[in-house]
C-alpha cells in the first residue's frame, strides 16, 4: 500500500478497482489547517482526467500493470489484435484505448502491450516507424506561406506535414513520440 507521502507524478494506483496514473501532483496546506495532497488523475482505462484531493492518513493500492512484448496481427471489427510471441495468447485493444497510436501500427510490428490483468490498456510503439505516403499534392512553387512543407497522408490515414520534395509513394520515417516527419527512407 502507498501512503500520501508516496504520491508523485507517474505513480499508478487503483481507484474503485481501476488503474489510474497521477498526471499532476502538489502538496498544499491552508494556514493552520491540515496537509492536503492535490492530484490530477488519469483513468488508464477510459483516459478520463480529473482532480482529487487526499488527506494524510489515506492509503492507496498500487495498480499492478504488466508490459509484454507482442506482435500486431491485424485489425477487424473487434479491434486491434496483438499476439504474445511466446505464449501465442491474443489480446484485443480497442480503437479508443489506442488513440493516435493506431496510426503507427503496421502488420507484424512488435510493440509492448500494457496489461491490467488480462486487459490490454495501451501500447508502447517503436520510436520510429516507416510509412508510405498515399496522398500529397505537389508543392506549389511560390507558396511561401506554408514555408517549405506541405500536408500529406500516409497509408494508415494519418495526416502530417512533410517537406516539399516528398512525393506520393515515398516511404518516410515518423517519430511516434511527436508524430512528426523525420526523413525519407531509402529503398
Partner 1 sequence: MNHSLAHKQQRLKQRARIIQTIRAFFIDTGFLEIETPHRIPLNAPEVHITPLPSQDWQLHTSPELAMKRLLAAGYDNIFQICPCWRAEELGSRHLPEFTLLEWYRSHCDYQDLMTDCEKLFRHLLPDSTLLYQDQQVDLQQPFERLTIADAFSRYTDTTAWQALKDDCFDELIAITIEPQLGLARPTILYDYPAELASLARRKADQPEIAERFELYVAGIELANGFSELIDPVEQRQRFKNDARIIAQQTNRPLQIPEPFLNDLQQMPPAAGIALGIDRLVMLLTNAESIDQVVAFTPQDL
Q: Any contact of residue 177 with partner 1 (CB under 8 A)?
A: no
Judged by CB under 8 A, the residue of 9, 29, 124, 151 near partner 1 is 29
Judged by CB under 8 A, the residue of 10, 17, 33, 142 near partner 1 is 33
- Rounded CA gap, 129 and 101, in Å? 11
> To the nearest whole angstrom, how small is the minimum distance from the Cβ of residue 34 to partner 1?
5
Q: Any contact of residue 169 with partner 1 (CB under 8 A)?
A: no
Stretch that binds partner 1, among 20-28, 40-48, 76-84, 129-137 (CB under 8 A): 20-28
> To the nearest whole angstrom, how small is the minimum distance from the Cβ of residue 6 to partner 1?
12
Judged by CB under 8 A, the residue of 1, 16, 34, 76 near partner 1 is 34
Judged by CB under 8 A, the residue of 18, 21, 23, 38 near partner 1 is 38
**Among all chains, which residue has been given the C-alpha cell 492518513?**
57
Backbone phi and psi for residue 2, each to the nearest 5 degrees, phi listed first? -100, 150
**Which lies closer to partner 1 via its Cβ, residue 28 or residue 183?**
28
**Which lies closer to partner 1 via its Cβ, residue 53 or residue 64?**
53
Q: Any contact of residue 28 with partner 1 (CB under 8 A)?
A: yes
| # residues near partner 1 by CB under 8 A | 15
Interface residues toward partner 1, by CB under 8 A: 5, 26-36, 38, 53, 56
Amino acid at each position: 500500500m502507498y501512503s500520501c507521502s508516496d504520491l508523485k507524478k507517474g505513480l499508478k494506483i487503483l481507484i474503485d478497482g481501476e488503474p489510474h496514473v497521477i498526471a499532476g501532483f502538489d502538496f498544499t496546506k491552508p494556514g493552520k489547517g491540515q496537509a492536503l495532497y492535490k492530484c490530477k488523475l488519469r483513468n488508464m482505462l477510459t483516459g478520463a482526467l480529473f482532480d482529487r484531493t487526499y488527506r494524510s492518513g489515506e492509503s492507496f493500492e498500487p495498480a499492478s500493470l504488466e508490459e509484454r512484448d507482442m506482435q500486431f496481427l491485424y485489425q477487424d471489427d473487434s479491434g486491434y489484435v496483438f499476439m504474445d510471441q511466446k505464449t501465442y495468447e491474443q489480446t484485443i485493444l480497442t480503437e479508443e484505448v489506442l488513440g493516435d497510436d493506431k496510426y503507427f501500427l503496421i502488420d507484424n510490428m512488435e510493440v509492448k502491450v500494457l496489461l491490467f490483468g488480462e486487459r490490454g490498456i495501451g501500447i508502447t510503439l517503436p520510436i520510429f516507424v516507416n510509412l508510405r505516403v498515399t496522398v500529397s499534392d505537389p508543392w506549389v512553387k511560390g507558396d511561401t506561406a506554408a514555408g517549405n512543407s506541405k500536408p500529406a497522408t500516409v497509408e494508415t490515414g494519418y495526416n502530417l506535414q512533410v517537406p516539399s520534395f516528398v512525393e506520393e509513394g515515398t516511404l518516410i520515417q515518423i517519430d511516434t513520440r511527436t508524430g512528426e516527419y523525420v526523413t525519407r527512407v531509402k529503398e
